[in-house]
Amino acid sequence: MLKVEKLKKSFAGADGPVPVLRGVDLSLEAGHTLALTGDSGSGKSTLLHLIGGLDTADSGHILLDGTDITTMDDRARAKLRRNSIGVIFQQFNLIPSLDLAANIAFQARLAGTYDADWTDELTRRLGLADHRTKYPEQLSGGQQQRVAIGRTLAARPRLVLADEPTGNLDETSGAEVLSLMLDLVGDTGAALLVVTHSRDLASKMERQLHLRQGVIER
């Protein structure tokens, strides 16, 4: 479902462009999970942003179910992002003026895929049912992380991209949230790509790839 080919990306530096991704190749099938590890600054988040359509590559291809998103215009990419790709950021990005229930429903409503039963089930399974009317600032970090996961999965994306999804949680709640995320992703048949520093988290994914010096280590 996801195929990345010869992907390159540089950022402007004081002495000219600094290459971050030097030709990344990877693939991920529907219903499967993949961990991407690599040293700090190796380009993991950059790669995730490109796959998520949040930034554009210098060259190479990103195929989502056969459609090349690198050749799409901004509007088409935004639509694809809304309808097919779910991104879970480290910093939650919840909407402060919306309560928990509205935050969880937000993306699904935008995508036109809101399903009240599925959203209720997600809210319950994420252990958030008693907090529906609370606002983000009234929630703990772990609860906010679970809302961010719920919001993404409520829209039933085909591809879920997660950047350190348990980075702000202690070990026990991190493990709980991860196993819940794997169950929920399994239930929706989505593909999951997780960027992480944690070997433990990476080992819970079916496959692990390591990014080093701008390429996937073989």
Ligand X SMILES: Nc1ncnc2c1ncn2[C@@H]1O[C@H](COP(=O)(O)OP(=O)(O)OP(=O)(O)O)[C@@H](O)[C@H]1O
Binding site for ligand X (CB under 6 A): 11, 20, 38, 40-46
Nearest-approach distance from CB 20 to ligand X, in angstroms? 4
Q: What are phi and psi of 42, to 5 degrees?
A: -75, -10
d(CA 177, CA 66) in angstroms, rounded, equals 31
Q: Which is nearer to ligand X, 19 or 127 (CB)?
A: 19
Q: Which is nearer to ligand X, 139 or 160 (CB)?
A: 160
Give the number of other CB atoms < 10 A from CB of residue 97.
9
Nearest-approach distance from CB 142 to ligand X, in angstroms? 20
Q: Which is nearer to ligand X, 91 or 133 (CB)?
A: 91
At 191, which amino acid appears?
A: A
Q: Which is nearer to ligand X, 101 or 205 (CB)?
A: 205
Distances (CA, A) of 188 to 31, 154, 181: 8, 10, 11
| Contact present, 30 and 1 (Cβ < 8 Å) | yes
Nearest-approach distance from CB 218 to ligand X, in angstroms? 18
Nearest-approach distance from CB 9 to ligand X, in angstroms? 8
Q: Which is nearer to ligand X, 14 or 116 (CB)?
A: 14
Distances (CA, A) of 115 to 80, 83, 201: 19, 14, 30
Distances (CA, A) of 202 to 36, 86, 210: 7, 19, 10
d(CA 192, CA 141) in angstroms, rounded, equals 22
Nearest-approach distance from CB 24 to ligand X, in angstroms? 11
Q: Report the residue count for the chain.
A: 218
At 58, which amino acid appears?
A: D
